Amino acid sequence: MAKQARRQKEKRSNNNLRINIINSDSHKALFSVKFTKFTLILVLSLFILLLIVGTYLVTSRTAVKYTIPGYPSAATKQMAVENVIKIDSLERIIEMWSMQLTNIQRIVSGREPVAMDSIAQRKNDGTIDAASREMYAKDDSILREEILKQERFNISYNTKKKIEQIEGLHFFTPVKGIITEDYNKAINHPFVDIAAAVNTIVYAVLDGTVVYAGWNDDTGYTIQIQHDNDIISTYKHNEKLLKSVGDKVTAGTPIALVGNTGNLSTGSHLHFELWHKGEAVDPTLYIKF
């Protein structure tokens, strides 16, 4: 029994560790701590865990992350956002051209044109299948061949015909939203207000050139575009402008972000004006909001 007790005591003593800090001159113990091997392993594990967590927080929540090779900078992120906007604009323009070509082919063949909004709605609902896309591609090829045959000996083939009347133009919707105040000249409101969420993209309604882009105390960030046929479109109360004076834009190009800027704004919306030959016209007669 004595031998067994002695062995257990020696085993316990082998598991115990002590750290002493002693004054070299007086040999007096200044600090002493006693622990087991299990305690040492536990403390080291906690230390390593805290080191990993601390390193993650420092590299993910502070400016240190920008020093990591391959981490995108603020300029890179901004460039990515701008590229996404450009791609979205190009996709919208291509879709609009495809719709217009399809309708021209239907008109030439004596059929009723398909409403632009119905095609767009079907695309958003995901109901345009592969067969429909193949049909549109086939119609487009037939139309191209027909036009080439008709214009083969036409000397005015490359002459652009200018449309004088506003009714002959196809306008791109500047922003999808709800009209909160209609066009009404009688109450000195020759424009429309379209409610939309902040930072919703605002698009140019026609091809043109930006003639004004800046800040106004009453209307906030405002942009104005001069189009052909004496048409001017104005977009007010924006959160941010994406184009500058002198920039050329096409229909469907992102030009601003919806906001609530200016003293006259009472909520997030787009104030939209359409002018033809110096007179304000009702945008809802030509644009589907």
Per-residue pLDDT of the chain (289 residues; tens, 9 = 90+): 555 656 665 555 566 777 778 877 777 777 777 778 788 788 889 999 999 988 888 777 777 766 777 666 667 777 877 888 888 888 888 877 877 777 777 777 777 776 655 555 544 444 445 555 555 565 556 656 665 655 544 444 344 445 567 877 889 999 989 999 999 988 888 999 999 999 999 999 999 999 999 999 999 999 999 999 899 999 999 999 999 999 999 999 999 999 999 999 989 999 999 999 999 999 999 998 8
Query: Which residue in 197, 205, 200, 138 sits closest to 173, CA to CA?
Result: 205
Count the helix, strand and coil residues of the chain and give each as a percent rounded to the nearest 5. 40, 25, 35
Burial 145-178 (b: 16+ CB within 10 A, else e): eeeeeeeeeeeeeeeeeeeeebeebebbbbbebe
List of E strands, the chain? 16-22, 29-36, 178-181, 192-195, 201-203, 208-216, 220-227, 231-241, 248-249, 254-258, 269-276, 279-281
Q: What region does 121 belong to: left with phi over 0, alpha with psi -120 to 50, or beta?
A: alpha
- In whole angstroms, give the CA distance from residue 158 to residue 287: 29
My answer on whether 129 and 22 are in the same domain is no
My answer on whether 132 and 173 are in the same domain is no
My answer on whether 176 and 278 are in the same domain is yes
Domain membership of residue 6 (yes or no) is: yes
Domain membership of residue 68 (yes or no) is: no
Structural domain total, the chain: 3
Examine the fold and report which residue of 115, 150, 185 is the final residue of a domain before the chain moves on.
150
My answer on whether 213 and 252 are in the same domain is yes
Examine the fold and report which residue of 150, 179, 209 is the final residue of a domain before the chain moves on.
150
My answer on whether 95 and 185 are in the same domain is no
My answer on whether 57 and 86 are in the same domain is no
Q: What is the pTM of this model?
A: 0.47
Q: How many residues make up the chain in this entry?
A: 289
- The count of other CB atoms within 10 Å of the CB of residue 80 is 11
Q: What is the pLDDT of residue 126?
A: 46
Domain membership of residue 157 (yes or no) is: no
Domain membership of residue 218 (yes or no) is: yes
Distance of CA 88 to the CA centre of its chain: 9
Q: What is the pLDDT of residue 127?
A: 47
- In whole angstroms, give the CA distance from residue 95 to residue 219: 33
Distances (CA, A) of 2 to 10, 12, 140, 155, 194: 12, 15, 103, 122, 95
My answer on whether 52 and 98 are in the same domain is no
Query: Which residue in 14, 279, 38, 53 sits closest to 166, CA to CA?
Result: 279
My answer on whether 84 and 138 are in the same domain is yes
- In whole angstroms, give the CA distance from residue 168 to residue 162: 10
Contacts with 145 (C-beta within 8 Å, 6 or more apart), sequence order: none
DSSP annotation of 5 reads: H
Full domain range(s) for residue 37:
2-61
- Identify the residue whose tokens are 């379209």: 194
Is the separation of the CB atoms in 255 and 242 below 8 Å? yes
Domain membership of residue 160 (yes or no) is: no
My answer on whether 261 and 193 are in the same domain is yes
